[in-house]
Amino acid sequence: MTVALELREVAKTFTMHLQGGVLLPCVAGVSFSVQAGECIVLAGPSGAGKSTILKMVFGSYRCDRGRIVVHHGGQCIDVAGASPRQILTLRRGTIGYVSQFLRAIPRVPALDVVAEPLVANGAVREEARELAGHLLGRLDVAQRLWALPPATFSGGEQQRVNIARSFLPDLPILLLDEPTASLDAVSATSVIDLIAERKRRGTSIVAIVHDPDVRDRIADTVIDVTRFAVAA
């Protein structure tokens, strides 16, 4: 199998600037790799550093030590030392991220929110909107809602729009932060099916999932993040 993502001895400490520069150690020695078509689930209690690890891979947080190597298109890019331009390029063509909260431009219809990543990469808008509608339908977002801004939706509906937006581009790496947390059982099953589809197509996935049933259904490997935790 081909390795798509490697973390090697990654560490992160936060500096609390509003608290006199107090240092808050978070994680250290984070090391694992993800192969094409593999789903790794990060497990552990709240505050153990799971979301911090995902955000370091996505480039939202800079790590203090270690390497985060992304393999794609014959290239190896170390996110830990990548320039902002390189990180934006990775986000556009390599790494997708489903956060716990949808951040969308106000008043933009849900259909365009989902289609936007394809349009940004040069797709014809109408074709992108058609694909977006198909995925929203699979996630049981009613068609009557597609022309409305997601800010008017329920939490579960917003999360399904969030998932559709990240799953629509065919990116080789997906980071999922509690993708099913606010979903009912039927919607959660739809997301599990999408994850299984992506794994069959070779997508590498790193997920945070607290629901043991969902975790058991999607995980090839479970990593207990508490082994990387650093006491403050």
Structure confidence at residue 182 (pLDDT): 83
User: Both 121 and 86 in a single domain?
Assistant: no
Structure confidence at residue 152 (pLDDT): 86
Domain that holds residue 182: 1-94+172-232
Beta strands in the chain (DSSP E): 3-16, 22-35, 39-43, 65-72, 75-78, 95-98, 173-177, 204-208, 221-224
Closest CA to 104 of 58, 143, 157, 53: 157
Structure confidence at residue 191 (pLDDT): 95
Q: Which residues of the chain have pLDDT under 70?
A: 1, 102, 104-105, 231-232
In total, how many domains does the chain have?
Answer: 2
User: Both 42 and 90 in a single domain?
Assistant: yes
User: Both 218 and 194 in a single domain?
Assistant: yes
Structure confidence at residue 101 (pLDDT): 72
User: Both 66 and 179 in a single domain?
Assistant: yes
Structure confidence at residue 166 (pLDDT): 92
Structure confidence at residue 102 (pLDDT): 67
Structure confidence at residue 155 (pLDDT): 86
Q: Using the Cα atoms of residue 162, residue 6, residue 216 and residue 47 in order, give the sign of their dihedral.
A: negative
User: Both 37 and 70 in a single domain?
Assistant: yes
User: Both 85 and 183 in a single domain?
Assistant: yes
User: Both 90 and 180 in a single domain?
Assistant: yes
Q: Which three-class secondary structure state does DSSP give residue 140?
A: coil
Structure confidence at residue 104 (pLDDT): 66
Radius of gyration of the chain (CA): 18
Structure confidence at residue 17 (pLDDT): 72
User: Both 207 and 161 in a single domain?
Assistant: no
User: Both 164 and 178 in a single domain?
Assistant: no
